[in-house]
C-alpha cells in the first residue's frame, strides 16, 4: 500500500495484511497501547500526535481546560450554528467531490448517497460528534454507523477531513483496490474509525441499536452522580433499503421498547433505490411506523441545503431522552449532478467523466480531483486538538472516578480494555462420569451463571425462548427501559435483529461479551448477522439449543439437519457441539477466549450422560481421543462423533471391543479448532494408516468424508426430520450404536 | 399408521411414506384425479363421496342449484349469523377439547393457542370459508394459513369437524407420532387441507401474502365480466411471535403496497409468548404499524366470546376491497383453563391430567377425550354437501368459460393443473462455442424472457436488484395494485419476505412458477424461507447472481464463500451453478421440471466464454464430461469445477495436455442431480481407479473431498473475500489455471 510510509505508529500496529482471519493475526495485538487502557494514563499517549498530546496534557491539568472541553462537548450544536454558511457549503461540496472522484478513479462505487447525504454528514461529523481522530478507540467517543454502507465514500471523506490517519489522500485514491483501507463497503477491521461492518442492508441500524444499548447499560452500571464516565451518542444514517429490510423493523422495535434516547437515526429519504423510484415497492408511511415503534420522529424537508433544519432536528432529538429519534431527511440522491441526480443511475455507478465535469460546473467546484480547499482543511483541522482535549478531559474524569470508586473502575476497565479477569476460567464447572446426566442446554445455563459472576462484560438473552434455551442469568434482572443496568436481554421473537444487536454490543467495547440464543434451526433467520459477526470479528456467543432430531415432536421445521455443515463451511466461525458437562465447559472456555470470532454452541434438548474421557483441554484442541484400547497408534477402528452422538459412538466402541477389536473414539467437537492443530497432533488422533473409520452425527453427512476418508463411512441424516418422540426418530433414522457397529464391520 | 384401513381413495393416493423428498415420490402423482383437472369434468369425481358427488351433479345441472350455491358462497356470513349461540359454544368447546385431548395424549404440543383462538377459528371454518372437504385441492377454495403453526391442533380439529378425510379421529389420537398425518406443526405435504408449512414464525403470514397475490393475479388475467372463475379469500391467524419477526413486516408492507383486499389476517392478540407477558419485549403499537403499512385495521376486543364482534369484523374486512385487513382479536391464551389460562404455562406444554379435568369442569364439558357431541357433528356435516355443491357450481361456471374463452381456459388449466405446455423446452436457447461470451446472469435473463412466452405460470422478480440480477420480463409490466395481471414482481429490499411470498405463490396452484432474485450472498437473509421451499416442496426458482469473488469491488460483505456448500448440505434443494449458455439453459430446464423442489441458480456477474462440450443434457445429469483426451476410462487426471471456474479447469487441461497428459474435465453443475445417477454412470465420470483429481471452485473447499478423494486436491477459498477488481482477487486467491496445473502435478 503506497501510503505505508506515512503511517503513524498506531496505524502500523493496526494495519492488517491479507489473509486476516485467524487467531495468529489479531486485530488489536496486546502491544497496542490504545485499547489496553494506557490511553487513560496521565502521560501523553505514544499514538497521539505531538500537538494533540500537548493539548491533551495541558488541558487535563487545569480546571479551565477541563471546563473548556466540557463546553466543546455539551454545546457543540449551539456553538457551531454560527459557522459561516459559505464555508459549510464548501465543506459539503468537498465531501461530495471526494466521493465523486474516488468512485470515478475506481470506476466502481456508489456516488449517489454521499452526494445527497453530505449536508447532514458534514453537520454530524463537524458540528455534533465527539471523537478523537488520533485515537479512534477512545472509549467515550460518539459512535457513527453508515447503515447504508454502499455509500462508504461518504464516511471515508469524513474520516479524511476529520484527520483520522486511517484515511489519507492516498487511501482515497486506492478506493476499492486490493489491500487498501478503503474497501467497497465499510469494514471496521480494515479502517480504524469505522465502528461496524455494513453493506448488507439493515445490519447497520441494528448494530447501532446494540451500540446504544451498550452505552445505556454501561452508563447505568458505572456512572455516578458526581462522575458521568459513560456518556455518548450513537448516530446512524440509513436509507430506503435499510428501511425495507425486516431486520431493521425488529431492531427498531426493540430500540423503541428499550427507550434508547441516545440513538439518533437519520433516514436518507431520497425515494430512489436500485430498481428506480421507491414508489414501485415501498409506499408505506415510514414516519407513522416509527411512531408506532415508540420512536420520536422529525422530518427535515430540505436535506439538501437546509443546514439549520438539520441542526434544529438534532437539537430536538437530543432533548428527547426517553425515546430514540428518527430524523427523516428528505434529500436528492446524487445532488449536484445535472443529468443524473434523483435517478437510480447515480446510485451505484461512477458518474462518468462528462457528468463529473458537468457536476463540477453545476456546483461551482473548479478544483482538481481529490483537492480539498485550504479553508475547508483549516476548518476541520481543529478536530485533532479538540479531540485530544476531549479524551484528556475524559481521562482526567476517569482518574478521579478511579480514586473514588476503585472497584467499579477496575471492572469498568476490564470491559473497555477486554482484558479478562485473572483466573476467570476457574469458574467453569467440571464433571466426572459419576455426575448426573443432563441436557447440554442445562449445562450451558450452569456455565452462563457461573461465568457471569466473574466476567463483568457478559450479558445476553434469548429470542423469546429463555426457558427453553436455558439462558437466564439468575442473579440479574431484565435489561429494560427502567432497569438498564441488568444483564438479561429480552429480544422477543427477533432472531435477526438479536444477532446484529449483539454484534453492536461486542464492537462497542472489547470486554463486552454478548450471548444470544434460539433454537439451532432458527440460525437460518439470523445467518446474515452471524456472517457479519464472523467477518467483523465480533466474539458473540451463539447459544443454540435443540440441536438435532433429538428435539422430537416439533418435527422437521424445527429440526436442524444441514446447520452444522453450513457453519463449518463459514469462515472465521467456531462451530462447537459439546457432548456433556466437561465439553460444554470447554466450549464456553473457547467462546470466551475467542474475542475475535463468534462461537456457535449447538446444545441438546435431551439428557446426555457424562462421558469418561471428555475434558475442557480436549475441547480446546477441537478433536481428541476420549477412549482407546489400542496401542501403537493403530486401532482397528476409529469411531468419531460430536455432541449427543458421542455417547452412541462410545457404546458402539464397547460392543466392538467386546468382540476383541481395538477401537478409538474421537470427539470432534470443533472442526475449526482441530484444523488449527499441528500435523503431528492430527496424525496422533487420525493416523493416515487407519482407514476403517466411522462417523456418526444426527445431521447431514455433508463434509464428513474429510475425516472418514474414501474407505470410511459417515452415518447421518441426509433428509428432513420428522415429528415423533426423539427416541423413535433416532431409531427410525438409524442413528444408533448398532448402525455404527454394522458400518464398522462392513469396512473392516 | 393405524388409520390406514379407513382411508378413502384420495387419501390412499395422497398418503406419503417416509422418506418423502425425492423426484421418485411426487406429492401429486399423475394418477390422482384432483389436481389433474378432472375435477372440472361433468361426471362425478372418483374421490368425492357418493353424497357429495350426487349433490354436485344435481346442482351443477340446474340453474336453481347454481343459484343456491351462489347464495351459499356469497352470503355465508349473513346466513350464519343466525346460528344458535349455544351450538356455537359447543362447537368452539369441541375444538378446544380436541386440541387439549390430543396434546394430552401426546404429552407434547401447544394447547394455549387453540383454546384461545377456537371462537374465531370456528367462525372462519364454519361460517365464512368456501371449501370442499372431499377435494382439498379444489381450485377456487378459500385458503387458510395458521401462521402461528405451533397451534396446529386448532387446524387439525377444524379439518376433522369439516369432514376432511385427512384428519380422522384416529389421526387426532396420533398427534405428533411417527408416520402420522398430524405432525407437530402444519405440513402441507403430510396433510391435505393444510395449504402451507408453518411453524417457523412469520413464514405463514408471508406465504399468505403470496397466496393472495396469486389470487389477485389470476383473477386479473382470467376473470371476465361474465365469468369470475377466480374469486377466493386468504385467511390467516398469526400471533405475537409472527408480529415480532421482521419477515412479517416485509411481507405485510408489500401486501399493503399491492392493496391485496382479499387477504384477511386475524392477529391473536393474547399478550403471552414463551418468555411470559409480551410487555417484556413487545410494546409497539401494532395497529398503528399496520395502518402505516397500508392495511385496514379492526379491533375485536372480546375474542373469547364475542362471536358477533368477530362476524362483524369479517364483514367489514370483506367490504374493504383495496386494502388487506388485519383484525386484531384480543383473546385469552388457554381460555377455559382455570389455573393456566393467560400464562406462558399453557403455551407449549400439555395441561396435565388435573388441569384438563379442571378445564372440563370449568367449561362444562362432560365428554370423554376426543368426543364430539352429535349436534356439533351434525352441524358441521353440511360442509360435505355444500362443499361439493360449491365445487360443482364452479365447475359448471368454468365449463361455460371454456366454451366462450377457449384460449384463456387452456392456459388457465395449465396453471391450475401444473401440466407444462407441450414442447415448452424448445424455447430454451442453445449456444455454440462460437456464440459470444456473456455473464450467466445475462444468459439467465435470456432464458427467463424465452420461457415466459411458453410458460403461462412463470412470474417473479427481484429484491430491488432487477437490473443487476437481470430478471425483468421485457414483454410484461409490473404487478402493481392497478396492474395485477402483470408478471414482474417488485419486492423491494425484502429478501426474506420475497422467498416466503414465492412459496405461497408456488403452493397456490401447481402451474404457478415463481422466481425470485438477489445477490447470492443475500440468500443468508432468506435462508429460512428457502428451507421451507425445500421442505414444503415448493418449486421456487431462486435466481442468485454475483455468485463469487468474481463480483469484485463490493468486497467480502457481498462475496459468497460458503453459500454453495451450505445449500448442497440442505435436503431437497437443487443447487445449480452453470458455466455458460448451454448450462444456464440446462439449469432452467431442470428448475422448471422440478416442481416439487426449489432450484437455486448461482450466476456470474462477470462475462464467461461459451465452452465446448457443455450441454443441457449434461446439466440434467448434474455432472458430466465436457472434454477428455484419454481412452479406456483412465485419464491421468480428472479436473472438475463448476460455473465460472469450469473455464479455468478447461484451460488447465489444455496446458497439461500440451505436456502429453490425458486429462478429463468434468462439470459438476449440480451435486444433487449427479448423486441421483446410476453407479455405472458415476463410475464412467469418476472412475474409482483415477485418484489424481483436482477441483476448483471460487468458494469454500468444504465438501469437495467427496469428489477429489483422499489423494486429490481441492482448490477454493476458505476465508472471506476482498474488495478489489475481480481479476486481481482471482489471482491473489490462487483461483487460476496455473494453480490447477501445479496441484495436478503435485499429486501425479
Rounded Cα distance, B337 and B351, in Å? 8
Mutation pick from A181, A525, A560 vs chain B, by most beta carbons of B within 10 Å, is: A525
In chain B, the percentage of residues whose pLDDT exceeds 90 is 88
Quote the pLDDT of residue A72.
43
Quote the pLDDT of residue B273.
87
Q: Which residues of B51-62 are buried (b: 16+ CB within 10 A; e: fewer)?
A: ebbebbbebbee
Q: Tens digits of per-residue pLDDT, B88-124? A: 999 999 999 999 999 999 999 999 999 999 999 999 9
Q: Is the pLDDT of residue B148 over 60?
A: yes
B562/A561 CB distance under 8 A: no
Which chain B residues contact residue A702 at CB under 8 A? 565, 568-569, 703
C-alpha cell at A27: 486485530
Residue B663, Ramachandran bin (φ over 0: left; ψ between -120 and 50: alpha; else beta): beta
Rounded Cα distance, B39 and B391, in Å? 8
- Strands of the B663-667 sheet, one edge to the other: B624-628, B663-667, B637-641, B693-696, B713-715
Residues 560-589 of B with CB under 8 A from A: 561-562, 565-566, 568-572
Q: Tens digits of per-residue pLDDT, B702-735? A: 999 999 999 999 999 999 999 999 999 999 999 9
Residues 471-530 of B with CB under 8 A from A: 478, 480, 490-497, 521-522, 524-525, 527-528
Q: Is the pLDDT of residue B199 over 90?
A: yes
Q: Three-class SS string for A163-229?
A: CCCCCCHHHHHCCCCCCCCCCCCCCCCCCCCCCCCCCCCCHHHHHHHHHHHHHHHHHHHHCECCECC
Per DSSP, the three-state class of A597 is: coil
Rounded Cα distance, A180 and B722, in Å? 10
Q: Which residues of A490-509 are buried (b: 16+ CB within 10 A; e: fewer)?
A: bbbbbbbbbbbbbbbbbbbb
Rounded Cα distance, B253 and B294, in Å? 7
Q: How far is A690 from chain B (nearest CA, A)?
A: 13
DSSP string, A8-50: -HHHHHH--PSS--STTS-SS-TT-TGGGTGGGSSSPPTTS-H
Q: Tens digits of per-residue pLDDT, B494-547? A: 999 999 999 999 999 999 999 999 999 999 999 999 999 999 999 999 999 999
Q: How far is B555 from chain A (nearest CA, A)?
A: 6
A244/B480 CB distance under 8 A: no
Q: How many Cα neighbours within 13 Å face the side chain of B608? A: 36
Which chain A residues contact residue B149 at CB under 8 A? 557
For residues A639-648, give the mean pLDDT. 98
Cis before B258? omega within 30: no
Q: Tens digits of per-residue pLDDT, B431-442? A: 999 999 999 999
For residues A554 and A522, the answer to whether their CB atoms sit within 8 Å is: no
Q: Is the pLDDT of residue B23 over 60?
A: no
Which chain B residues contact residue A561 at CB under 8 A? 569-571
Q: Tens digits of per-residue pLDDT, A361-396? A: 999 999 999 999 999 999 999 999 999 999 999 999
For residues B238-249, give the mean pLDDT. 98
Q: Is the pLDDT of residue B75 over 60?
A: no
For residues B172-188, give the mean pLDDT. 98
Name the one residue in this structure whose C-alpha cell is 442431480.
B673
C-alpha cell at B672: 444433487
In chain B, the percentage of residues whose pLDDT exceeds 70 is 89
A566/B561 CB distance under 8 A: no
Considering the candidates A104, A495, A645, A697, report the single residue annotated as catalytic. A495
Quote the pLDDT of residue A714.
98
Please indicate if the annotation marks B720 as binding a ligand: no
Residue B457 in contact with partner chain A when CB distance is under 8 A = no
**CA distances in angstroms from A129 to A121, A144, A232, A741, listed in the order given:** 10, 8, 9, 66
**Longest CA–CA separation in chain A, Å:** 90
Which chain A residues contact residue B146 at CB under 8 A? none
Rounded Cα distance, B525 and A524, in Å? 8
Please indicate if the annotation marks B150 as binding a ligand: yes
Quote the pLDDT of residue B18.
32
Contacts within 8 Å (CB) and 24+ apart, A703-707:
A703/A565, A703/A568, A703/A569, A703/B565, A703/B569, A703/B702, A703/B703, A705/B705, A705/B706, A706/A671, A706/B705, A707/A640, A707/A668
Q: Tens digits of per-residue pLDDT, A162-190? A: 999 999 999 999 999 999 999 999 999 99
Residue A371 in contact with partner chain B when CB distance is under 8 A = no
Closest to A257 (Cβ–Cβ): which among B256, B281, B287? B281
CB atoms within 10 A of CB A225: 5
Q: Which residues of A56-86 are buried (b: 16+ CB within 10 A; e: fewer)?
A: bbebbeeeebbeebeebbeebeeeeeebeee
Mean confidence (pLDDT) of chain A:
91
Quote the pLDDT of residue A273.
86
**CA distances in angstroms from A696 to A638, A705, A717, listed in the order given:** 11, 12, 9
Closest among B641, B618, B601 to B431, alpha carbons compared:
B618
Q: Tens digits of per-residue pLDDT, B445-471? A: 999 999 999 999 999 999 999 999 999
Q: How far is A238 from chain B (nearest CA, A)?
A: 13
Closest to B719 (Cβ–Cβ): which among A21, A199, A496? A21
For residues A330-343, give the mean pLDDT. 97
Q: What does the radius of gyration of chain B's CA atoms come to, in whole angstroms? A: 28
Q: What does the radius of gyration of chain A's CA atoms come to, in whole angstroms? A: 28
C-alpha cell at B564: 454453495
Quote the pLDDT of residue B514.
98
- Give A204's contacts (C-beta < 8 A, 6+ positions apart): A145, A146, A147, A148, A149, A196, A198, A236, A238, A242
Q: At what angle do helices A50-61 and A63-74 cross, to 10 degrees?
A: 110
Size of interface A-B (CB pairs under 8 A): 367
B180/A280 CB distance under 8 A: no
Quote the pLDDT of residue B748.
78
Residue B719 in contact with partner chain A when CB distance is under 8 A = yes
Residue A558 in contact with partner chain B when CB distance is under 8 A = yes
Rounded Cα distance, A563 and A557, in Å? 13
B289 pLDDT band, cuts 50/70/90, is very high
Q: Strand pairing partners for B515?
A: B460, B541
Which chain A residues contact residue B550 at CB under 8 A? none
Quote the pLDDT of residue B83.
63
Which chain A residues contact residue B528 at CB under 8 A? 522, 524-525
Q: Tens digits of per-residue pLDDT, B584-621? A: 999 999 999 999 999 999 999 999 999 999 999 999 99
A495 has catalytic annotation: yes
Rounded Cα distance, B696 and B694, in Å? 7
Closest to B496 (Cβ–Cβ): which among A246, A494, A558? A246
A732/B178 CB distance under 8 A: yes
C-alpha cell at B711: 489423494
Q: How far is A197 from chain B (nearest CA, A)?
A: 8
A586 pLDDT band, cuts 50/70/90, is very high
Residue B183 in contact with partner chain A when CB distance is under 8 A = yes
- Give B488's contacts (C-beta < 8 A, 6+ positions apart): B459, B460, B461, B466, B472, B473, B476, B477, B478, B479
Q: How many Cα neighbours within 13 Å face the side chain of A717? A: 28
B719/A19 CB distance under 8 A: yes
Which residues of A are documented as binding site?
110, 150, 199-201, 240-241, 270, 272, 347, 441, 468, 522, 546, 554, 558, 605
Q: Is the pLDDT of residue B9 over 70?
A: no
Q: Which residues of B336-360 are buried (b: 16+ CB within 10 A; e: fewer)?
A: bbeebbbbbbbbbbbbeeebbebbb
Q: Is the pLDDT of residue B32 over 60?
A: no
Residues 659-688 of B with CB under 8 A from A: none
Q: How far is A689 from chain B (nearest CA, A)?
A: 12
Considering the candidates B495, B537, B647, B672, report the single residue annotated as catalytic. B495
Rounded Cα distance, B623 and B594, in Å? 17
A109/B553 CB distance under 8 A: yes
Mutation pick from A245, A521, A717 vs chain B, by most beta carbons of B within 10 Å, is: A245
Rounded Cα distance, B624 and B622, in Å? 7
Closest among A253, A256, A277, A110 to A183, alpha carbons compared:
A110
Residue A183 in contact with partner chain B when CB distance is under 8 A = yes
Name the one residue in this structure whose C-alpha cell is 399491492.
B258
Q: How far is A22 from chain B (nearest CA, A)?
A: 9
Residue B320 in contact with partner chain A when CB distance is under 8 A = no
Mean confidence (pLDDT) of chain B:
91
Q: Is the pLDDT of residue B15 over 50?
A: no
Which residue of chain B has the CA closest to A182? B723
- Give B605's contacts (C-beta < 8 A, 6+ positions apart): B439, B441, B468, B545, B546, B547, B550, B551, B552, B726
Which residues of A are documented as binding site for thiamine diphosphate?
150, 199-201, 241, 270, 347, 522
For residues A447-474, give the mean pLDDT. 98
Q: Strand pairing partners for B269?
A: B330
Beta strands in A475-604 (DSSP E): 488-490, 513-519, 541-545, 574-576, 599-602
Q: At what angle do helices B85-106 and B374-381 cross, to 10 degrees?
A: 110
For residues A456-473, give the mean pLDDT. 98
Q: Is the pLDDT of residue B2 over 90?
A: no
Q: What angle do CA B253, B257, B258 make, to 5 degrees?
A: 120
Quote the pLDDT of residue A26.
34
Quote the pLDDT of residue A83.
63
Q: How far is B677 from chain A (nearest CA, A)?
A: 17
Residue B25 in contact with partner chain A when CB distance is under 8 A = no
Q: Is the pLDDT of residue B5 over 70?
A: no
Which residue of chain B has the CA closest to A733? B19
C-alpha cell at A449: 451463571
- By mean pLDDT, which of A48-62, A596-610, B187-201 is the weakest? A48-62
Amino acid at each position: 500500500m503506497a501510503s505505508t510510509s506515512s503511517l503513524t505508529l498506531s496505524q502500523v500496529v493496526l494495519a492488517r495484511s491479507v489473509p486476516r482471519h485467524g487467531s495468529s493475526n489479531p486485530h488489536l495485538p496486546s502491544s497496542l497501547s490504545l485499547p489496553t487502557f494506557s490511553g487513560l494514563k496521565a502521560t501523553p499517549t505514544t499514538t497521539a500526535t505531538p500537538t494533540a498530546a500537548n493539548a491533551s496534557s495541558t488541558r487535563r491539568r487545569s480546571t479551565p481546560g477541563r471546563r473548556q472541553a466540557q463546553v466543546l462537548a455539551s454545546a457543540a450544536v449551539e456553538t457551531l450554528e454560527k459557522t459561516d454558511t459559505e464555508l459549510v457549503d464548501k465543506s459539503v461540496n468537498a465531501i461530495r467531490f471526494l466521493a465523486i472522484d474516488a468512485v470515478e478513479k475506481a470506476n466502481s462505487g456508489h456516488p449517489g448517497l454521499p452526494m445527497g447525504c453530505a449536508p447532514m454528514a458534514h453537520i454530524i461529523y463537524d458540528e455534533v460528534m465527539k471523537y478523537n481522530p488520533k485515537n479512534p478507540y477512545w472509549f467515550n467517543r460518539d459512535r457513527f454507523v453508515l447503515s447504508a454502507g454502499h455509500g462508504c465514500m461518504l464516511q471515508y471523506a469524513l474520516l479524511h477531513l476529520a484527520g483520522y490517519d486511517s484515511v489519507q489522500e492516498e487511501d482515497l485514491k486506492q478506493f476499492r483496490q486490493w489491500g487498501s483501507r478503503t474497501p467497497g463497503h465499510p469494514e471496521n477491521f480494515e479502517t480504524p474509525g469505522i465502528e461496524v461492518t455494513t453493506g448488507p442492508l439493515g445490519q447497520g441500524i441494528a448494530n447501532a441499536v446494540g451500540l446504544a444499548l451498550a452505552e445505556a447499560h454501561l452508563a447505568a452500571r458505572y456512572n455516578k452522580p458526581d462522575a458521568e464516565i459513560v456518556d455518548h451518542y450513537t448516530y446512524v444514517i440509513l436509507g430506503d433499503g435499510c428501511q425495507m429490510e425486516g431486520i431493521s423493523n425488529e431492531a427498531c422495535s426493540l430500540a423503541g421498547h428499550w427507550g434508547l434516547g441516545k440513538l439518533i437515526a437519520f433516514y436518507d429519504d431520497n425515494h430512489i433505490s436500485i430498481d428506480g423510484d421507491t414508489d414501485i415497492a415501498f409506499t408505506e408511511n415510514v414516519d407513522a411506523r416509527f411512531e408506532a415503534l415508540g420512536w420520536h420522529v422529525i422530518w427535515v424537508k430540505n436535506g439538501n441545503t437546509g443546514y439549520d433544519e438539520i441542526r434544529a432536528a438534532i437539537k430536538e432529538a437530543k432533548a428527547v431522552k426517553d425515546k430514540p429519534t428518527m430524523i427523516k431527511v428528505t434529500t436528492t440522491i446524487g445532488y449536484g449532478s445535472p443529468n443524473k441526480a434523483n435517478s437510480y443511475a447515480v446510485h451505484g455507478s461512477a458518474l462518468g467523466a462528462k457528468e463529473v465535469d458537468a457536476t463540477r460546473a453545476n456546483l461551482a467546484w473548479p478544483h482538481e480531483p481529490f483537492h480539498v480547499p485550504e479553508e475547508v482543511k483549516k476548518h476541520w483541522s481543529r478536530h485533532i486538538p479538540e479531540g485530544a482535549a476531549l479524551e484528556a478531559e475524559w481521562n482526567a474524569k476517569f482518574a478521579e472516578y478511579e480514586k473514588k470508586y476503585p472497584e467499579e473502575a477496575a471492572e469498568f476497565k476490564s470491559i473497555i480494555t477486554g482484558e479478562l479477569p485473572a483466573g476467570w476460567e476457574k469458574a467453569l464447572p467440571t464433571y466426572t462420569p459419576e455426575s448426573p446426566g443432563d441436557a447440554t442446554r442445562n449445562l450451558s445455563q450452569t456455565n452462563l451463571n457461573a461465568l457471569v459472576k466473574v466476567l463483568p462484560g457478559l450479558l445476553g438473552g434469548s429470542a423469546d425462548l429463555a426457558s427453553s434455551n436455558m439462558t437466564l442469568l439468575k442473579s440479574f434482572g431484565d435489561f429494560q427501559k427502567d432497569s438498564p443496568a441488568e444483564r438479561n436481554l429480552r429480544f422477543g421473537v427477533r432472531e435477526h435483529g438479536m444477532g446484529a444487536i449483539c454484534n453492536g454490543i461486542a464492537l462497542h467495547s472489547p470486554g463486552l461479551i454478548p450471548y444470544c440464543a434460539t433454537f439451532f434451526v432458527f440460525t437460518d433467520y439470523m445467518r446474515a448477522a452471524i456472517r457479519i459477526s464472523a467477518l467483523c470479528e465480533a466474539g458473540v456467543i451463539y447459544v443454540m439449543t435443540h440441536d438435532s432430531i433429538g428435539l422430537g415432536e416439533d418435527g422437521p421445521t424445527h429440526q436442524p439437519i444441514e446447520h452444522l455443515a453450513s457453519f463449518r463451511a463459514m469462515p472465521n466461525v467456531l462451530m462447537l457441539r459439546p457432548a456433556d458437562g466437561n465439553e460444554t465447559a470447554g466450549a464456553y472456555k473457547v467462546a470466551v477466549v475467542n474475542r475475535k470470532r463468534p462461537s456457535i454452541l449447538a446444545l441438546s434438548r435431551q439428557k446426555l450422560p457424562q462421558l469418561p474421557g471428555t475434558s475442557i483441554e480436549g475441547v480446546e484442541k477441537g478433536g481428541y481421543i476420549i477412549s482407546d484400547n489400542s496401542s501403537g497408534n493403530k486401532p482397528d477402528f476409529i469411531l468419531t462423533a460430536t455432541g449427543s452422538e458421542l455417547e452412541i459412538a462410545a457404546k458402539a466402541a464397547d460392543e466392538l471391543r467386546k468382540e476383541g477389536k481395538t477401537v478409538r473414539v474421537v470427539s470432534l467437537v470443533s472442526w475449526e479448532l482441530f484444523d488449527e492443530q499441528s500435523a503431528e497432533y492430527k496424525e496422533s488422533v487420525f493416523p493416515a494408516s487407519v482407514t476403517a473409520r466411522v462417523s456418526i452425527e444426527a445431521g447431514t453427512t455433508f463434509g464428513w468424508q474429510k475425516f472418514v476418508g474414501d474407505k470410511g463411512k459417515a452415518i447421518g441424516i441426509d433428509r428432513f426430520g420428522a415429528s415423533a418422540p426423539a427416541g423413535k426418530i433416532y431409531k427410525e433414522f438409524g442413528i444408533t450404536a448398532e448402525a455404527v457397529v454394522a458400518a464398522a464391520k462392513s469396512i473392516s
